[in-house]
Amino acid sequence: MIAVKNLSARLGDFSLKELNLDIRDGEYFVILGPTGAGKTVLIECLAGLHRLTSGELWIDHRNVSS
């Protein structure tokens, strides 16, 4: 289970703002969008490579948004 609640993150001049997403156990999920939409920034936030400006990341019912 992955839950993203009001995620905001800033990377240089780019920022994600108030993103919400729920991926339940057993689901397949695809992130699609044009260049510059923030797909890679989102994945890097999930991997812990970037600090969140605000919001929460939950993985397997644990808050990992430190």
* pLDDT confidence of residue 65: 84
In a domain, 12, yes or no: yes
Expressed as residue numbers, the domain containing 50 is 2-31+45-63
Enter the pTM of the model.
0.85
- How many domains, in total, are found in the chain? 1
pLDDT tens-digit profile of 2-45?
999 999 999 889 999 999 999 999 999 999 999 999 999 999 99
d(C-alpha 42, C-alpha 49), whole Å: 10
66 has pLDDT over 90: no
* pLDDT confidence of residue 62: 94
In a domain, 36, yes or no: no
